[in-house]
């Protein structure tokens, strides 16, 4: 029984020992050294080359190295009868909570303005709102969105969340669906945080129409996928003042090309897709637990619904 580790990003020097520690009997092969493809029954992958997974005849399951599976689902040859499992891991969740709380607090406590003043040696205290006067809207109330919304609520922000189906969450006003609920949610989001999966329904959702429904001068935090954002619309909304700024961790084209206008825009804070990362030591435990379930014929956790796309 062999597992193929397929990624250009995650380090096999972390992952191979972490997987072996959980499952000493598991043979781990590191792509592109496939050996006999017939031996491979599990794949642990991040953005595999299209066709690679379909070329493995005895696959029992595909594990995503990330929470988002858009990079795997982009492969149109993906075998439809092999279960796809996404990454759910507490360290990934905590990392995202830290990132969003950092960006929300930085904006709320006027970090960009004070850094601008520092560059000019200006000592100019500004009026500071209370956290409860700041309305944050979290798009996506899944593993990451729920924990993030609740951590912001614990800091006394006025938090709402938005999901596809109806949800309830202590201390968070919940909205759902693409109709009225979405409009009401946007109208009360001074800071809009995107933690949605990238699917046919959510691609381009951070565009001019959405921005126009936010309070004027809102702030955008996109820690989900670059495909959610219409970049031209963002620049237009910043230009008109409809949006006052944005913190972006993900981009349509990664790495963000050197000549991209976002790099030079002082209203935009850029991080290189690091909002949260999967830690091998903890995440290998959840992969191993699911392998044990498969081998025991038990039902799986974190199964992706291929029709919904997440
Ligand atoms: P989940 O699958 O747990 O949650 C997804 C949430 O989005 C659910 O609440 C779901 O609604 C909601 N949703 C999906 N489609 C729609 C829709 N059309 N309209 C409204 N709501 C919708 O995902 P995670 O929380 O684990 O991860 C979210 C995303 O974060 C990942 O897909 C990935 O792209 C991104 N990510 C980015 C990282 C980074 O470093 N930048 C790191 C990790 C993840 P419902 O509850 O009704 O199902
Ligand atoms: C993920 C990511 O989806 O790191 O986990 O982007």
Taking a C-beta distance cutoff of 8 angstroms, is the pair 99, 74 a contact?
no
Q: What is the pLDDT of residue 139?
A: 99
Q: Which residue's CA is the closest to the ligand 1 atom numbered 33?
A: 68
Q: Catalytic residue at 279? A: no
Q: What is the pLDDT of residue 103?
A: 99
> Distance between CA atoms of 49 and 47, rounded to whole angstroms?
7
Length of the chain: 310
Tokens of 227: 């495909």
User: For tokens 């993030």, what's the residue?
Assistant: 148
Q: What is the pLDDT of residue 142?
A: 98
| CA 67 centroid distance within chain | 7
Judge if the beta carbon of residue 224 lies within 6 A of ligand 1.
yes
Does 32 sit behind a cis peptide bond, omega within 30 degrees of 0 on the bond before it? yes
Tokens of 203: 């691609």
DSSP 187: H
Closest CA to 231 of 212, 257, 255, 204: 204
CA of 86 to the centre of ligand 1 (A): 11
CA of 64 to the centre of ligand 2 (A): 9
User: For tokens 């913190």, what's the residue?
Assistant: 247
Indicate which residue of 188, 213, 267, 273 is catalytic: 273
Q: What is the pLDDT of residue 60?
A: 97
pLDDT in tens, 23-58: 999 999 999 999 999 999 999 999 999 999 999 999
Q: What is the pLDDT of residue 1?
A: 87
Judge if the beta carbon of residue 250 lies within 6 A of ligand 1.
yes
User: Is the C-alpha dihedral spanning 90, 91, 94, 95 positive or negative?
Assistant: negative
- Residue-level pLDDT, tens digit, the chain, 310 residues: 899 999 999 999 999 999 999 999 999 999 999 999 999 999 999 999 999 999 999 999 999 999 999 999 999 999 999 999 999 999 999 999 999 999 999 999 999 999 999 999 999 999 999 999 999 999 999 999 999 999 999 999 999 999 999 999 999 999 999 999 999 999 999 999 999 999 999 999 999 999 999 999 999 999 999 999 999 999 999 999 999 999 999 999 999 999 999 999 999 999 999 999 999 999 999 999 999 999 999 999 999 999 999 9
Q: What is the pTM of this model?
A: 0.97
Q: Which residues pair with 206 in a beta bridge?
A: 229
Q: Catalytic residue at 273? A: yes
Q: Which residue's CA is the closest to the ligand 1 atom numbered 17?
A: 164
């Amino acid at each position: 029984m062999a597992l193929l580790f397929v990624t250009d990003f995650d380090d096999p020097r972390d992952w191979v020992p972490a997987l072996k520690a959980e499952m000493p009997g598991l043979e781990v092969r590191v792509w592109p050294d496939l050996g006999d493809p017939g031996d491979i029954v599990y794949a642990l992958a991040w953005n595999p080359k299209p066709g690679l997974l379909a070329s493995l005849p005895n696959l029992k399951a595909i594990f995503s190295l990330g929470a988002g599976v858009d990079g795997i689902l982009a492969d149109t040859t993906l075998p439809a009868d092999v279960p796809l499992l996404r990454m759910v891991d507490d360290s990934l969740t905590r990392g995202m909570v830290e990132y969003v709380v950092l960006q929300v607090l930085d904006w709320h406590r006027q970090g960009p303005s004070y850094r601008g003043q520092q560059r000019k040696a200006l000592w100019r205290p500004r009026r500071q709102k209370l956290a409860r006067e700041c309305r944050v809207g979290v798009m996506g109330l899944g593993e990451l969105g729920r924990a993030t919304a609740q951590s912001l609520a614990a800091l006394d922000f006025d938090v709402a969340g938005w999901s596809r189906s109806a949800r309830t969450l202590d201390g968070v006003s919940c909205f759902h669906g693409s109709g009225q609920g979405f409009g009401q949610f946007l109208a009360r989001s001074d800071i809009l945080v995107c933690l949605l999966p990238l699917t046919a329904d959510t691609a381009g959702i951070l565009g001019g129409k959405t921005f126009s429904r936010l309070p004027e001068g809102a702030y955008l935090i996109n820690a989900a996928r670059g495909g959610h954002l219409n970049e031209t619309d963002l620049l237009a909304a910043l230009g008109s003042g409809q949006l006052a700024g944005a913190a972006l961790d993900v981009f349509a084209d990664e790495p963000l090309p050197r000549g991209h206008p976002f790099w030079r825009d002082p209203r935009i804070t850029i991080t290189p897709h690091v909002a949260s990362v999967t830690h091998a030591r903890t995440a290998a435990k959840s992969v191993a637990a699911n392998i044990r379930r498969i081998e025991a014929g038990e039902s799986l956790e974190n199964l992706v619904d291929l029709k919904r796309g997440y």
